[in-house]
Structure 1
């Protein structure tokens, strides 16, 4: 993994430290002197190649005269991610790009998810998730597949937090009818969707087959928005070996327009749940 991109939390922390230092009119040499290190350490921290201790971070923020408690708490939260949970590390060994996905899900205020033929990962049941992962030809082996399965299940815990992100899901009707994992597994998956539709932070809408052509026929994606306005929106597109992330405003804006267009052709949340139940009863 030499040369791999630093995790997103470290890139964000680094960018904010550079911003605050420059706003304060301080040089890297002055920052290094403040926390008693060589300039090369400051360079590596600001290039997102090295983490920083909480004590050093708080000292630098004081030095840069950052006194907004929300800003301080935000950066402290990022710095505390220096050691990812074991399940994240295991999954990252298999799919390095999954680390950023996990961070985006955990730090987002709003997640907008659209899929053509699969149920979105945050709402998959264990049987459904195993069936999806097992049908992907790969050389990952049993341990690799188990690591990805574990991560998919653990990621769903974000919806059970005291302050979960708002999750807006748009699914094609086709995704309800493909019997992933067999009839019984799919029934359980649809039951789970019906239950999750009652979650206070989840909204599920279905595009009925009769809607015909729509803006999402050729794409599936997830759009993340964050509570900190200085963080740009991010679009995630899954491909065969990992995830592609886009942060450029001109790109994310297009996906936001697509999602709004998709919502305009969906059934209402209540009618969507009724269609899910109808498909389940027909199996």
Structure 2
């Protein structure tokens, strides 16, 4: 078999995956860019250039939505990294129930996001919710978690972290367990204790896992929609609106081209933030 034949034979194995990738990702992406510059319905379309982008960017609630999206993404990402790393470190110790505790920590991620939103929305009801009833039992008057403009977004962030920290924990566990034990043994010979193990070995050598958690959690926070829509629908007022919820409201109102332009803008925002951050984080990784 000639060299050219070998290359063609190799590329033949990539062809099915390439067709699927083009059909399910590249083609819809190109079509989204095109239809974002049209006024379209299910049966007709009219090319209008960048009018949808101008209209979407002039949306009165967009400034609030953009600010909330950044706050939501940064806080959920940061808290998942912190709690996930601490839990992952703890669950890699020699405790007898670590396997059971790992399953408990990961369990919320198996639940439907819609079901979690509905459940916590009910639990956070100002008068009938389980949380405020529990607080009232000890003499504390609970706030309106989802109706207070200062607490609503933070309440949803708490639920998001509760649900998603399990994935971060699993990634950290995998990263910590991949660290060679020889490093810890060498540190013990030099007289290092538990803190030295954590600070000089576990923390720096788990950077690849930490970088993965940061990227995944940040992108997930920037694109988040289902949980916040289930719990608050962007309210009270526009105080918990995210870019994704603004896009949905435009789509629900029948402005399909406008909502498509919003999706393209959200895609650009995520790309502008995620790709440079990924390059920055991977430069500082420690090789094992």
TM-score (norm 2): 0.22
Q: Which has the higher strand share?
A: 1
TM-score (norm 1): 0.23
Q: Which has the higher helix share?
A: 2
